Structure 1
Amino acid sequence: MALTALQVKTAKTTDKPIKLSDGGGLFLLVQPNGSKYWRLAYRFAGKQKTLAVGVYPDVSLLNARDRREDARKQLTAGVDPGENKKAQKAAKQGKAANSFEVVAQEWIEKFSTNKAASTIEKTNFILRRDVFPWLGARPIDEIKPSDLLTVLQRIETRGALETAHRAKQYVGQIFRYAVGTQRAERDITQDLKGALPAPNVIHRAAITEPLKFGALIRSIDGFTGTLAVKCAMKLAPLIFVRPGELRQTEWAWVDMDSATICYPASVMKMREDHIVPLSLQALEILREIQPLTRSGKFVFPSIRTSARPMSEAAINAALRRIGYSKEEMTGHGFRAAARTIMDEVLGIRVELIEHQLAHAVKDLNGRAYNRTTHLPERKKMMQQWADYLDKLKAGAEIVPLHGNAA
């Protein structure tokens, strides 16, 4: 049976340590001198282990139970809570200024200004879940290739080969940073070339045939899910930004008067501000969702809380719901569709399309275009594209227009 606060407070001492169980592996260890310690018994990788949870009364019964739940979550994610605690303690106390986790956090902070927020979040998540619990507390110059290989194989065995390769990539960058700051002699990931099977290259599915794309747009119009997801799906083919950028769109970036959305560098893959001209059709969609979400931060908020944007999986899940498999169409596929059809059917200049896709485009002198380059032409192009999509949706006959520029 679970303990009560009174039982914990009045627990009697004996001449030997005694254990009072609260369930789920949590127990109170009462020492002969009256000291009371919370401990958590758990199994990891087939071994029985014990985690120090805290000292009573500094850590109450409720606090101890919260820490038990935190440990359970780590175990579910494949993380050893004991090793994770050691890594966190070493990093926080700064006992090892050259520990892998300390160096990694330095690297993340130093290079975060050149990476999108979503990339930083993904990097942190993989390192915290898959690398730090085993290597975080260790001095970086003492980590051997075999140590890292064990970590990577642990990821691979759970069926996450792509994540294993990504973790190896991050570790390699961290080691190269450590070499540059004179805390490691070499990048040990170079010894692990070929140690992992090559990941399967999965191309993002996209519908690029005009008539089929028109059928897709009609299917989106018939979507019966939430208004936020439906409007996001309707807007996706009209502005063809990346799915992560679309879901994070904030009302503060939308200018209805100038008919633009200005995405800040912080959310862009290329780390540069990006202006998206809005067609009349795109503005109509934004006006449709505006009464529902304008009081919050995000144009397309999460169904659970307006404080967060809709989930990464929302668009793809909606596509599955209207009958398109992951082999047929993805949220990212709207970009490929626009790129292909605008070039091959509408004959729009490729550099305009690439610039609107927020790809790196340079002028004849090798200088990168800024966010306002060709803006009038891009506004015209986006309206032409939206009008063309209306015709596709209506099932009009499509005639290729070779060589016509926007």
Structure 2
Amino acid sequence: MALTELEVKKEKATDKQQKLSDGSGLYLLIHPNGGKYWQMAYRFGGKQKTLSLGVYPEVSLVDARDRREQARKLLANDADPSAIKQATKQEKRKALQVSANSFSILAAEFHKIKSPMWTEGHAKQWLGNLEKYALPVIGDRPITDIEPMELVGIMRAVEANGTFETRDRLLQTIGAVFKYAIAIGRAKYNPAEIRMALADRPKVEHFACIPTAELPEFLRAVTAYRDLDKVSPIAIAALRLLMLTTTRISEVRFSKWADFDLDAGCWVIPEEQTGRKGKKASAIPM
């Protein structure tokens, strides 16, 4: 006699396993611990077999009957539903393994490990270049399947925009991901060794610079500049400090009065200053 949803829900466990039949091989197995499991008994190849169809109540009576009918159709076509279920599990497991070994997953792992030591700007640029140029092409690919010619194609597409500096940074980034994958045993070689297949960077025309002999006169002119409607005194002082100490613009921008010891003639740029993540404190003589 076919089961009802109410029977399945109300049936209590006993000190022994129980089987409540729904017909055509489907039954509800109730364990002494209260667990309820849908199973289907069938014969295939002259052997008695059991197919697990799920756990109640996650799998309802209606769902269990649907799964039973799907299994019966397989049997009618001389296919073993248990073997097909096992093969499907193996395919899913393999797909998960491939996904875990994809370029995008490994790039994310590498970024997570290394970015705490980078500046915020570098970490953002590192990931941004990958997302813009590389991940749409090779992100979902298993890292062991990626070939050098694919990377050449990515690099040449960046070259076509005339952004050679971006190309070189991107290649360095991709190469770092492969080196990381090799180090942890998830790749065997680095296909990013392709620089010989790329165009040489065009010669860069640098901005003109002031001859060394003219620097004193320029510095005096900056000091004497008085058109404060166009340039603030703070900007003038910052430019003089930058020229006299040859520090970075960001180090001058984010400096504080507490960093300067005028009596000792020393400026200490602290490790925690904005933009200096991963860099040690620096002492600059004044």
TM-score using structure 2 length? 0.53
* Alignment match, 1:197: 199
Written as runs of structure 1 = structure 2, the 5 A alignment for 1:342-381 is none
Residues paired across the two proteins, number: 183
Partners of 1:148 and 1:255 in 2: CA distance:
49
Partner of residue 176 from structure 1, selected from 148, 160, 179 = 179
* Alignment match, 1:149: 152
Task: Say if 1:196 and 1:117 are closer, same or farther in 2 by CA, change over 3 A.
Answer: same
* Alignment match, 2:256: 251
Partners of 1:244 and 1:198 in 2: CA distance:
31
Give the partner amino acid of 1:134: V
Give the partner amino acid of 2:241: L
Task: Give ranges in structure 2 of 5+ residues lacking alignment.
Answer: 1-95
Partner of residue 98 from structure 1, selected from 79, 93, 101 = 101
Task: Say if 1:144 and 1:244 are closer, same or farther in 2 by CA, change over 3 A.
Answer: farther
Structure 1 segments of 4+ aligned residues over 6 angstroms from their partners: none
Q: Deviations over 1:257-300 (max 9, x none)?
A: 665232317745983221224xxxxxxxxxxxxxxxxxxxxxxx
Q: Deviations over 1:273-328 (max 9, x none)?
A: 21224xxxxxxxxxxxxxxxxxxxxxxxxxxxxxxxxxxxxxxxxxxxxxxxxxxx
* Alignment match, 1:264: 271
Partners of 1:151 and 1:98 in 2: CA distance:
20
Task: Say if 1:103 and 1:162 are closer, same or farther in 2 by CA, change over 3 A.
Answer: same
Q: Assess if the C-alpha contact under 8 Å between 1:176 and 1:187 holds in 2.
A: yes
Task: Say if 1:196 and 1:214 are closer, same or farther in 2 by CA, change over 3 A.
Answer: same
Q: Assess if the C-alpha contact under 8 Å between 1:123 and 1:170 holds in 2.
A: yes
Q: What is the DSSP-based 3-state SS (H/G/I as helix, E as strand, rest coil) of the residue aligned with 1:276? A: strand
Partners of 2:203 and 2:114 in 1: CA distance:
27
* Alignment match, 2:128: 125
Written as runs of structure 1 = structure 2, the 5 A alignment for 1:304-315 is none
Task: Say if 1:95 and 1:140 are closer, same or farther in 2 by CA, change over 3 A.
Answer: closer
Task: Say if 1:116 and 1:158 are closer, same or farther in 2 by CA, change over 3 A.
Answer: same
Q: What is the DSSP-based 3-state SS (H/G/I as helix, E as strand, rest coil) of the residue aligned with 2:269? A: strand
Question: How far is the alpha carbon of 1:253 from its aligned partner?
Answer: 6.0
Question: How far is the alpha carbon of 1:205 from its aligned partner?
Answer: 5.9
Q: Deviations over 1:11-42 (max 9, x none)?
A: xxxxxxxxxxxxxxxxxxxxxxxxxxxxxxxx
Q: Assess if the C-alpha contact under 8 Å between 2:268 and 2:281 holds in 1.
A: no
If asked which structure has higher relative contact order (CA below 8 Å, sep 6+), I would say 1
Q: Assess if the C-alpha contact under 8 Å between 1:161 and 1:199 holds in 2.
A: yes
Partners of 1:164 and 1:142 in 2: CA distance:
22
Task: Say if 1:98 and 1:229 are closer, same or farther in 2 by CA, change over 3 A.
Answer: farther
Partners of 2:243 and 2:249 in 1: CA distance:
11
* Alignment match, 2:284: 276
Q: What is the DSSP-based 3-state SS (H/G/I as helix, E as strand, rest coil) of the residue aligned with 2:123? A: helix
* Alignment match, 2:216: 214
Question: How far is the alpha carbon of 1:176 from its aligned partner?
Answer: 0.8
Q: Assess if the C-alpha contact under 8 Å between 2:117 and 2:277 holds in 1.
A: no
Question: How far is the alpha carbon of 1:172 from its aligned partner?
Answer: 0.9
Question: How far is the alpha carbon of 1:167 from its aligned partner?
Answer: 0.8
Whether 2:247 is the aligned partner of 1:241: answer: yes
Task: Say if 1:231 and 1:109 are closer, same or farther in 2 by CA, change over 3 A.
Answer: farther
* Alignment match, 1:338: none
Q: Assess if the C-alpha contact under 8 Å between 1:253 and 1:263 holds in 2.
A: no
Task: Give ranges in structure 1 of 5+ residues lacking alignment.
Answer: 1-92, 278-381, 383-406
Structure number with the higher strand fraction is 2
Between Structure 1 and Structure 2, whose CA radius of gyration is higher?
A: 2
Q: Assess if the C-alpha contact under 8 Å between 2:271 and 2:277 holds in 1.
A: no
Partners of 1:97 and 1:125 in 2: CA distance:
21
Task: Say if 1:218 and 1:96 are closer, same or farther in 2 by CA, change over 3 A.
Answer: farther
Q: Deviations over 1:118-142 (max 9, x none)?
A: 4333323322322223322322222
Partners of 1:182 and 1:160 in 2: CA distance:
33
Task: Say if 1:179 and 1:217 are closer, same or farther in 2 by CA, change over 3 A.
Answer: same
Partners of 1:252 and 1:111 in 2: CA distance:
32
95-104 or 115-124, larger mean C-alpha shift: 115-124
Give the partner amino acid of 1:103: L
Question: How far is the alpha carbon of 1:98 from its aligned partner?
Answer: 1.9
Partners of 2:145 and 2:233 in 1: CA distance:
54
Partner of residue 140 from structure 2, selected from 111, 125, 137 = 137
Task: Say if 1:263 and 1:205 are closer, same or farther in 2 by CA, change over 3 A.
Answer: farther
Q: Deviations over 1:100-131 (max 9, x none)?
A: 12211222232335544443333233223222
Task: Say if 1:143 and 1:219 are closer, same or farther in 2 by CA, change over 3 A.
Answer: farther
